């Protein structure tokens, strides 16, 4: 029994070690584009969820960020869809164009591009996103692995500590290490 446990542990350890080519990092957008990373966080104990988004330029420099929190604890994919809708609305209010929006919920990204009638529980939010995207100039939605979405995740996590909706024109003290790590 002990040998089986050790073998299983060694196998799991070997499986969890990643080669450098498996490492996923944030990548800046092409020149002429901005990138807006989006994420959501759920705070069950407070019965709230928050969204965070961060805009950076093609050199990885911080442009602006925002957070919002809401009452309730929806399923994660619904919270992520709300985050996407928040980001599209905000970017539209800023009158930005040529924006690559990344989020780490593949189900939401796939739902945006699925031409079939959206039967997902959060289908009305996806429909809102699609409608808003028609009013925007050259917005691209894409999936990114969680490891490359750390800054947006950090903003989503601090959303509950801010006013209901908070815009950051400067990098807040709780975030700079994440942004600096992405620029390396």
First-to-last C-alpha distance (Å) of the chain:
45
Residue corresponding to tokens 């990344």: 102
Pairing mode, strands 165-168 and 34-43: unpaired
The answer to whether residue 23 sits within a structural domain is no
The answer to whether residue 75 sits within a structural domain is yes
Q: For residue 11, give the 3-state DSSP assignment.
A: helix
Give one DSSP letter per residue of 14-70, joined into a string. Answer: HHH---GGG-----PPPTT-EEEEEEEEEEGGGTEEEEEEEEE-TT--EEEEEEEEE
- Would the pLDDT of 43 be above 80? yes
Burial class (CB in 10 A: 0-12, 13-18, 19+), 52: buried
The answer to whether residue 142 sits within a structural domain is yes
The answer to whether residue 101 sits within a structural domain is yes
| Tens of pLDDT, residues 98-137 | 999 999 999 999 999 987 766 667 889 999 999 999 988 8
Pairing mode, strands 34-43 and 48-56: antiparallel
Q: Residue 77's domain is classified under what CATH number?
A: 3.30.420.10
Task: Report the predicted TM-score, pTM, of the whole model to 2 decimal places.
Answer: 0.83
Phi, psi of 104, deg, nearest 5: -100, 25
The answer to whether residue 7 sits within a structural domain is no
- Would the pLDDT of 21 be above 80? no
Q: For residue 158, give the 3-state DSSP assignment.
A: helix
How many independent structural domains does the chain possess?
Answer: 1
Q: Which domain holds residue 147?
A: 29-183
């Amino acid at each position: 029994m002990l040998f089986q446990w050790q073998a299983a542990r060694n196998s799991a350890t070997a499986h969890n070690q990643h080669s450098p080519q498996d490492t996923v990092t944030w990548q800046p957008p092409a020149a002429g584009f901005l990138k807006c990373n989006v994420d959501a966080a759920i705070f069950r104990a407070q019965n709230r969820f928050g969204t965070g988004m961060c805009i950076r330029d093609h050199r990885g420099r911080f442009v602006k960020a925002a957070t919002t929190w809401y009452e309730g604890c929806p399923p994660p994919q619904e919270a992520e869809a709300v985050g996407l809708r928040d980001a599209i609305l905000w970017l539209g209010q800023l009158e930005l164009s040529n924006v690559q929006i990344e989020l780490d919920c593949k189900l939401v990204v796939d739902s945006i591009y699925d031409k079939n009638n959206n039967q997902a529980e959060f289908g009305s939010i996806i429909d809102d996103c699609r409608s808003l995207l028609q009013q925007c100039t050259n917005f691209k939605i894409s999936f990114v692995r969680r490891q490359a979405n750390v800054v947006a995740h950090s903003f989503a996590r601090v959303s509950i500590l801010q006013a209901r909706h908070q815009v950051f024109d400067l990098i807040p003290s709780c975030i700079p290490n994440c942004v600096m790590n992405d620029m390396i």
